[in-house]
Amino acid sequence: MKIAHIETLLSCGNYAASDEWNETRGRIHEAVEAVDWPQNSGMFTINPVKHGNGVVPIKKVFVDRLRGQHWTTEEPIHLTSELQPGNLDFMLSTEHGPIAIEWETGNISSSHRSMNKLALGLIQGVISAGIMIVASRKLYPYLTDRIGNFDELRPYLPFWKSIQCQSGVFEIVVFEQDAESTDVPRIPKGKDGNARRPADSALDEV
């Protein structure tokens, strides 16, 4: 899989400039780039059918990589408020504080919730770094309809960049396909929500 863009929203304090963060950041990027389709093919090739591919199997290799590096999954974020916004997809404990990742292939509303969850964690100092991983606009048309994508988050970047930062990192990693081919199988879809919508022909305008 290709990393098409990295948007750094915040980078401040000693940890952001540390070798430890640079190494961790590099391993996160390697785990994204290791995602492939078909599985074990060594590259991510999408069958270019409009809304023709699911999203759940995409991150399998990513999950396996992180679990092998002591990341945990579905960890709660402990904010100071009694109202909690739900679990984080991935968490890694470090001596500087937890690093959190949200892999976002839900709908665009879910993407905004994930971004705000990470932002709150940084504001309250309960995470040291927050990483959002989301599809590019180039890949978006071939996945489940209305999933989150970077272009739909872009109008709100100035808001997240305006957060007062004493120490921490806030980034968006944007992924997309290495190639397109009608010879590869479609990625299986789930059975609920927008995943149930029928795919359009590959010849349809996207």
User: Residue 51 is part of a domain; what is its CATH number?
Assistant: 3.40.91.20
* Residue 16 covered by a domain: yes
* Residue 89 covered by a domain: yes
What φ, ψ does residue 106 adopt, rounded to 5°? -85, -165
**20 in active site:** no
For 141-193, write each residue's pLDDT tens digit: 999 988 889 999 999 999 999 988 888 999 999 999 999 999 999 999 866 44
Q: Which of 13-17, 72-76, 198-202 is predicted least confidently?
A: 198-202
For residue 57, what are the domain limits?
Answer: 2-189
* Residue 197 covered by a domain: no
* Residue 172 covered by a domain: yes
Query: Where does the pLDDT of residue 198 fall: very low under 50, low under 70, confident under 90, or very high at 90 and above?
Result: very low
> What is the chain's mean pLDDT, rounded?
88
CA dist 138 → 50, 134, 153 (Å): 11, 12, 14
* Residue 195 covered by a domain: no
Domain count, the chain: 1
pLDDT at position 41 is 94
pLDDT at position 191 is 63
For 106-135, write each residue's pLDDT tens digit: 888 989 999 999 999 999 989 999 999 999
Q: Which of 102, 104, 171, 176 is catalytic?
A: 104
What is the secondary structure of 49-113 as a DSSP string? -TT-B-SGGGGHHHHHHHHTTT-EEEEEP--SSSS---EEEEEE--TT--EEEEEE-SBHHHHHH
